[in-house]
Structure 1
Amino acid sequence: MTVTIDEAPSARTLTEAAVRLSGVSKWFGKETDKPVLDGIDLTVAPGEFVCLLGASGCGKSTLLNLVAGLDPVSAGSIEVTGGRAALMFQESALFPWLTAAGNIELALRLRGVGKAQRRSEAERLLSLVRLEGAAHKRAHELSGGMRQRVALARALAQQAEVLLMDEPFAALDAITRDVLHGELTALWQETGVTVLFVTHNVREAARLGQRVILLSSRPGRVAREWQVDIPQPRRIEDAAVSELAREITDELHREITKHARFAQGSATQRSGIKSKETRRDG
């Protein structure tokens, strides 16, 4: 029932998991309440890019929060190699009174990096996310895409073994999102960071992921997974990406339909029980 941390990342082997979830369940309230996640077993290899898909409410964001250690698991265990997982949200969550470089330097300071080194490291990270000229700009002076790049640089400043991304491009326009897809792929290939990426966008998952995991509707369970062998870099309009996206979408529709039928059946059953009780009371 705990998130356990491996304190010896240097000793890991290529076969060792960067993230391992074993029988993870999560419920809010009483143990008898319906769980959000139920018995999740998932292993993410070091340097792997895994996308999580599923209908709204299936527990994708909850799963990321558990891996990040922001919430305790209700049952099961989570192991994160190296002990550090950086979380990126849909909103950039930059401190508006700080510059782009200042936001990154804050993460470096919290990591214990000395003042003299922080500026040069912040500039290096801004360069890595293609924002060389934005060091002195504040959040209101940056576009949505630029703010997300700063947030990504800030996450990388934590030197996390694992990058957790919760729909980081959902609020952006299609063109900006397309550009950031390419840049994230290049950055992932350059740094070798492990990525666990939550999205509602099936094409986004097909474009980015080495593996795509589909969670069932609540309670969230691993319903299906796809190994994606399409070479990178990929384009959103590539035929192979479109074909995979159609296959995943069909499976997602089946999951949503199954859940809707189950919910309708449960509602009908509850209505029948209530009707009997009303007649008996009358």
Structure 2
Amino acid sequence: MTPALTTSADPTDAAAPAPADGAPAVRISHVHKSFGRGSARTHVLDDITLDVAPGEFVTLLGASGCGKSTLLNLVAGLDRPSAGEIQVPGGRPALMFQEHALFPWLTAGRNIELALKLAGVPRAERRAEAERLLELVRLGGAYGKRVHELSGGMRQRVAMARALAQGSQVLLMDEPFAALDAITRDVLHDEITRIWAERRLTVLFVTHNVREAVRLAERVVLLSSRPGRVAREWRIDLPQPRRIESSGVADLSIEITEELRGEIRRHVQH
């Protein structure tokens, strides 16, 4: 099988077309990924097949080392699969990491403007657009603040605005709130849910936190321990906005946690 990564738009095109009606925003077809060679070869992903519909919010859940972040990097185009195919018809996705990765010598606004520049937004329009994006993530007035002046939650809001500045309808998020305290994380859960709904984004969100997965997603996909395979999926029918402490989230989290424990036990036994 020949590995492939396909996008139908220039990665720098801020107005990348949406997928055709009925087509997935992300299509992952029989993807394998290994690192190393010979006896040192590590098989990380095994025959992953997954479609994400336009406007869908999907969380990838699994134990540490199961290949969640590797899969996200493949979808982002930062690496290539060893076999299989990944298609993102609307162009290169935007990516948000656990670490904010902001440039400390730039202000919040200038960090966003840099992404706008790379997306092809004319210079004369960048400041207004950066300020609009800061308003979107509820950081109006923070354009001139430097990174050291911002709290952890504020930095992640700027990182979110920078990701949105890339103009993609597909947003990849790799444990973006894991380093934050529980209250800040809960507030940012509300924010990403609101922005996802307002902008009709397609979101693929990696986490190892079961309650976070259920709190946010329309669909939870559980990966087995290494090598990562799609072990099970859940459709989440709970209405949004959800509370992480609600009984519906808690009950489903217990069920998924039991499945996750089973996957971890199977990995240990092998």
Equivalence for 1:160: 168
Within a 5 Å distance, the mapping from 1:177-196 to structure 2 comes to 177-196=185-204
Q: Answer yes or no: is the 8 Å Cα contact 1:84–1:161 preserved in 2.
A: no
Q: Is the 8 A contact 2:18 2:169 kept in 1?
A: no
Query: Is there any run of 5+ residues in structure 1 with no aligned partner, and where?
Result: 263-282
Q: 1:10 offset after TM fit, Å? A: 3.9
1:63 aligns with 2:65: no
Instruction: Give the AA of the match of 1:252.
Output: L
- Is residue 209 of structure 1 aligned with residue 211 of structure 2? no
In 1, the alpha carbon distance for the partners of 2:65 and 2:235 equals: 24
Measure the CA separation in 2 of the matches of 1:14 and 1:88.
27
| Distance (Å, rounded) in 2 between the aligned partners of 1:233 and 1:65 | 29
**1:178 to partner: Cα distance:** 0.5
Q: 2:180 aligns with which of 160, 164, 172?
A: 172
Matched residues in 2 for 1:222 and 1:127: separation? Answer: 38
Instruction: Give CA-to-partner distance per residue, 1:76-111, whole Å, 9 cap, x none.
Output: 000002112011110100000000000000011111
User: Which string of whole-angstrom CA distances, capped at 9 and with x for unpartnered residues, describes residues 134-173 of structure 1?
Assistant: 1100110000000000000000000012100000000000
TM-score (norm 2): 0.95
Aligned to 1:267: none
Distance in 2, Cα, partners of 1:12 & 1:46: 7
Structure 2: any 5+ residue segments left out of the alignment?
A: 11-15
Q: For 2:88, which of 59, 62, 80 is the aligned residue?
A: 80
- Number of residue pairs matched by the alignment: 262
Aligned-residue RMSD, C-alpha: 1.3
| 2:36 is aligned with 1:29 | yes
Equivalence for 2:8: 6
Deviations 1:30-59 (A, max 9, x none): 277341000000000001000000011100
Identical positions, percent: 68
Identify the residue that residue 236 of structure 1 maps to in structure 2: 244
- Structure index of larger Rg: 1
| Equivalent residue number for residue 135 of structure 1 | 143
Distance 1:162 1:113 in 2: 18
- Equivalent-residue separation in structure 2 for 1:145 and 1:94 (angstroms): 13
Asked if the contact 2:218/2:237 (under 8 Å) is kept, the reply is: yes
Secondary structure, aligned partner of 1:38 = strand
Give the whole-Å Cα distance in 1 for the aligned partners of 2:43 and 2:87: 21
* Aligned equivalents of 1:102, 1:151: Cα separation in 2: 12
- Equivalence for 1:20: 27
Instruction: Please say if residues 171 and 204 of structure 2, whose CA atoms lie closer than 8 Å, have aligned partners that are also in contact.
Output: yes
Partner of 2:233: 225
Q: Is the 8 A contact 1:81 1:161 kept in 2?
A: no
Cα gap change, 1:28/1:234 in structure 2, threshold over 3 Å: closer, same or farther?
same
- Report the residue type matching 1:193 in the other structure: L
Query: What's the offset of the Cα at 1:183?
Result: 0.8
Q: TM-score, normalised by structure 1?
A: 0.91
Which is worse superposed, 13-22 or 192-201? 13-22
